[in-house]
Amino acid sequence: MTSLHAYFYYRDQVAFQRQLATASSTDVNARDWLGRTVLHLACAALDAAATVV
């Protein structure tokens, strides 16, 4: 599980956005042990706010 996955799982939006804004090496396409990206998790969450960019 990447830090982005963890931030999404724990609904830590501030840390999630900070990770995206400051870490140029962040792989947004990284997959968890089930092969899901953070975007997969956001879409599966059925929360429209989770997918807003």
Comparing 43 with 31, the larger pLDDT belongs to: 31
Measured distance CA(19)–CA(6) in Å, rounded: 11
Boundaries of domain holding 26: 3-51
Measured distance CA(22)–CA(40) in Å, rounded: 22
Measured distance CA(20)–CA(38) in Å, rounded: 12
Report the domain count for the chain: 1
Measured distance CA(18)–CA(52) in Å, rounded: 16
pLDDT at 1: 83
Q: Dump pLDDT digits (tens) for 2-39.
A: 999 999 999 999 999 999 999 888 899 999 999 999 98
* C-beta of residue 27 within 8 angstroms of C-beta of residue 38: no
